C-alpha cells in the first residue's frame, strides 16, 4: 500500500505506478452505502479514470 497526496496522483499514473486496476481508496464517496460497496475500488472506476488513455489510444494524461 502506498499513500499518495492528491497532487501526486497524476504523476503516479503517468509513471505507471497507478493503473486502472490499482485499488484506490476513493474518499469522495457521499453515502454509507457507497462506502460499503465501492471502497476500495479500481482507480479506473473512480474520478481518476480521466487520467487513463482509452484502450488502444496513445494519449497523454490531462
Condensed to tens digits (0 to 9), the pLDDT of residues 4-48 reads 998 999 999 999 999 999 999 988 889 999 899 889 999 999 999
Full domain range(s) for residue 24 = 6-51
Query: What pTM, to 2 d.p., does this model score?
Result: 0.71
Contact 51, 59 (CB under 8 A): no
- Residue 56 in domain: no
In this prediction, residue 48 carries a pLDDT of 92
Give the integer Cα–Cα distance in Å for 31 and 57.
34
Stated as kind and residue range, the H or E segment containing 24 is strand 23-24
Which cell numbers in the block locate residue 37? Answer: 460497496
Confirm if 26 and 39 have CB atoms less than 8 A apart.
yes
Query: Is residue 26 in some structural domain?
Result: yes
- Does the structure show a pLDDT above 80 at 56? no
Phi, psi of 40 (to 5 degrees): -80, 175
- Give how many domains the chain has, as a whole number: 1
Spatial distance between the Cα atoms of 62 and 50, rounded to a whole number of angstroms: 7
pLDDT reported for residue 32: 93
Amino acid at each position: 500500500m502506498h499513500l499518495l497526496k492528491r497532487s501526486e496522483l497524476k504523476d503516479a499514473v503517468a509513471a505507471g505506478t497507478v493503473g486502472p486496476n490499482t485499488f484506490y481508496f476513493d474518499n469522495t464517496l457521499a453515502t454509507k452505502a457507497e462506502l460499503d460497496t465501492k471502497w476500495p475500488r479500481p482507480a479506473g472506476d473512480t474520478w481518476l479514470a480521466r487520467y487513463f488513455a482509452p484502450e488502444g489510444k496513445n494519449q497523454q494524461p490531462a
